[in-house]
Amino acid sequence: MRIILAGPPGAGKGTQAAWLVRRFRIPHLSTGELLRAAVEQGTALGRRAGGFMKAGQLVPDPLMVPLVLERLRELGPNAGFILDGFPRTRAQAETLDTALAERRLPLDAALLIEIPDQLSIERISGRRIDPATGIIYHAQFNPPPSDLAAGVVQRQDDTVPAVTARLAQYHAEEAFLVPFYEQLGLLRRVDGSGTPEEVSRRITVALGKADA
Ligand code: AMP
Q: Which residues are near ligand 1 (CB < 6 Å)?
A: 9, 31-32, 35, 52-53, 56-59, 64, 85-86, 88, 92, 157, 166
Mean pLDDT of 183-204: 96
Domain-by-domain residue ranges, the chain? 2-27+75-206
Residue 127 annotated as catalytic: yes
Using CB atoms within 10 A of its CB, is residue 16 exposed (0-12), middle (13-18) or buried (19+)? buried
209 assigned to active site: no
Given this structure, which CATH class describes domain 2-27+75-206? alpha beta
pLDDT tens-digit readout, 168-190:
999 999 999 999 999 999 999 99
Q: State the DSSP string of 62-80.
A: HHHHHHHHHHHHTS-TT--
pTM: 0.86
Average pLDDT value for residue range 196-208: 96
Kindly report, residue by residue over 42-90, the tens digit of the pLDDT: 999 999 999 999 887 899 999 999 999 998 888 888 899 999 999 999 9
Exactly one of 13, 36, 123, 188 is catalytic; which is it?
13
Is the pLDDT assigned to residue 33 strictly greater than 70? Answer: yes
At 119-139, the pLDDT tens digits run 999 999 999 999 999 898 999
Q: For residues 78 and 144, what is the distance between their CA atoms, to the nearest angstrom? A: 40
Strand 28-30 relative to strand 81-84, pairing: parallel
Question: Is residue 210 pLDDT above 80, yes or no?
Answer: no
Query: Which residue owns the Cα nearest ligand 1 atom 8?
Result: 32
Q: Give the per-residue pLDDT at 2.
A: 96
60 Cα: distance to centroid of ligand 1 (angstroms): 10
Find all residues with CB under 8 Å of 125, minimum gap 6, and list them. Answer: 158, 159, 160, 163
- Looking at the chain, the whole-number percentage of residues with pLDDT higher than 90 is 81
Split at pLDDT 50, 70, 90, the class of 211 is: low
DSSP per-residue string spanning 143-209: PPPTTTGGG-B--GGGSHHHHHHHHHHHHHHHHHHHHHHHHTT-EEEEE--S-HHHHHHHHHHHTT-
